[in-house]
Amino acid sequence: MNVLRFVLENHSQVVELTLEHLWLVGLSTLFAMLIGIPLGVVIAHRPILSKSVLASANIIQTIPSLALFGFLLPMPWLGARADRLAILALTLYALLPIIRNTHTGIRGVDPAVVEAGKGMGLTESQLLFQVELPLAANVILSGVRIAIVISIGLATIAAAIGAGGLGEFIFRGLAMVDNSVILAGAIPAALLALLADFSLGCVERKLRAQ
């Protein structure tokens, strides 16, 4: 029960790092949604663009996270603060599931419903906000959910460039060869991921039931 003792003795730091972790994940997911959802909508309406956009997001996803942090390090304004770098990298990783699910969700709306909407004289934005987005909402949300769960895990690596978060304990534990310190970072991170997954899953089910 060394982990428990360590956590109790350092509880203020555990709380601090958890909040830092949430900050990194929350802000990057928000940015990814602000970019990814509009982009997903655009490529759903313009199929010519969809291949190249999805391919780019796919390629980003294949870059190993540690390498991506390294690549971004020399960038001028970003490199000045590690948390900015981490948020950018996490945003890039979160893009793929969000873009792809928005694309799938919008494309999955029954064409008869879209046609009826057009035929009744809905403008393009009315069609988007009143019909397409609400009907695609649960698919988009499940993309956000995947993105968050991935981000919570990935954000632990952000500590390697000094961006903080629960990864601090993991890297410190690795350096000290002390499993209880590693677990003090890993267990809260895993719990966060489970909690996020569960609560967003509940929202998703509620949306689907409507």
Partner 1 sequence: MVTPAIEFRDVSYNIAGTQVLSGLNLQVARGETLVLLGRSGSGKTTALKLVIQLASPTTGEILVNSVSNASTDIIQLRRSVGYVIQEVGLFPHFTVERNIGLVPRIEDWPEDRIRARVRELLDLVGLGSDVALRYPHQLSGGQRQRVGVARALAANPDLLLMDEPFGALDPLTRDELQREFKALQQRLHKTVVFVTHDLCEALRLGSRIALMEAGRLVTVLTPAEFLKSKDPLASAYLRAFDNALESADRSTL
**Minimum distance from CB of 136 to partner 1 (Å)?**
11
Q: Which of these segments, 66-74, 123-131, 140-148, 154-162, binds partner 1 (CB under 8 A)?
A: 123-131
Q: Which of residues 53-82 bind partner 1 (CB under 8 A)?
A: none
Instruction: Assess 116 for contact with partner 1 (CB under 8 A).
Output: yes
Whether residue 54 contacts residue 99, with contact meaning beta carbons closer than 8 Å, is answered with yes
Q: Which residues contact 130 (CB under 8 A, 6 or more apart)?
A: 117, 122
Q: Tokens for 11, please give them.
A: 């509880």
Instruction: Assess 110 for contact with partner 1 (CB under 8 A).
Output: yes
Instruction: Please count the other Cβ atoms lying within 10 Å of the Cβ belonging to residue 210.
Output: 7
**Minimum distance from CB of 133 to partner 1 (Å)?**
10
Among 12, 77, 121, 177, binds partner 1 (CB under 8 A): 121
Q: Which of residues 126-165 bind partner 1 (CB under 8 A)?
A: 126, 130-131, 134-135
**Minimum distance from CB of 68 to partner 1 (Å)?**
39
Instruction: Assess 125 for contact with partner 1 (CB under 8 A).
Output: no
Q: Tokens for 203, please give them.
A: 């929202």
Instruction: Assess 117 for contact with partner 1 (CB under 8 A).
Output: yes
Instruction: Assess 119 for contact with partner 1 (CB under 8 A).
Output: yes
**Minimum distance from CB of 54 to partner 1 (Å)?**
24
The radius of gyration of the chain from alpha carbons, rounded to an integer in Å, stands at 20
State the residues that interact with partner 1 by CB under 8 A: 110, 112-113, 115-123, 126, 130-131, 134-135, 210
